[in-house]
Amino acid sequence: MENLEGETLKVILFKLGNETYGVPIDQVISIERVQSLTRVPNVADFVVAGIMNLRGLIVPVLDMRRRFNMGVVEQSKDSRIIIVEMEEMTVGLMVDAAKEVLDISKGNIEQTPDIVGGPEVEYIKGVAKMDNDELLILLNLKRVLNNEEIEEMKSIEV
């Protein structure tokens, strides 16, 4: 087994409800305040909350609460859209709050426990143990959208 103790993974932390998630910083382009979104007709609302204009680029925005079946809550002053590069596409992830950048020792990352089930497990790359005994769920962005949904997002015309 390889020793990963010295290696770190830099992630951006964000909140959905009471849970803390992380996405690799190398996939993050920027973190934006929530701005007005334009609804797209005939697109499943769990796939796209809408589209936004980000400095001239039209970006589809995923509502991560809907994606993870966590219900809908009103946006707050802490709500953010994390702009990520996913499957050669730029996509926004709407979250309750974006927190901080954190270096996690790869030795502290464990595979998703087998007991965790349901369709959401495919979105999880691993679980990291934090210093404060909190667990951090690391997302696998390649799995947040399946191929059919990626094609649907690519076909959105403005």
What contacts 27, CB < 8 A, 6 or more positions away? 84, 85, 86, 141
Cα–Cα distance between 152 and 64 in angstroms, integer?
A: 17
Asked if 84 contacts 93 with a C-beta cutoff of 8 angstroms, the reply is yes
- For 8-154, CATH number out of 1.10.510.10, 3.20.20.70, 3.40.50.2300, 2.40.50.180 equals 2.40.50.180
Count the neighbouring beta carbons within 10 Å of the beta carbon of residue 115.
6
Query: Is residue 74 very low, low, confident or very high in pLDDT (cuts 50, 70, 90)?
Result: confident
Q: Which pLDDT tens digit goes with each residue over 92-130?
A: 999 999 988 988 888 888 876 654 555 455 667 778 877
Half-sphere exposure of 38 (CA within 13 A, CB side): 11
Confidence at residue 33, expressed as pLDDT on a 0 to 100 scale: 93
What are the beta bridge partners of residue 115?
Answer: none
The structure tokens listed for 108 are 């502290």
pLDDT bracket for residue 3 (50, 70, 90): very low
- Phi first, then psi: what are they for 135, rounded to 5°? -105, 140
CA distance 20 to 99: 9
Q: What are the structural domain ranges in the chain? A: 8-154
Give CA–CA dist 135/20, Å, rounded.
8
The DSSP 8-state label assigned to residue 76 in this structure reads -
Percent of the chain with pLDDT over 70: 76
Six token digits for residue 5: 């103790």
The pTM is what? 0.80
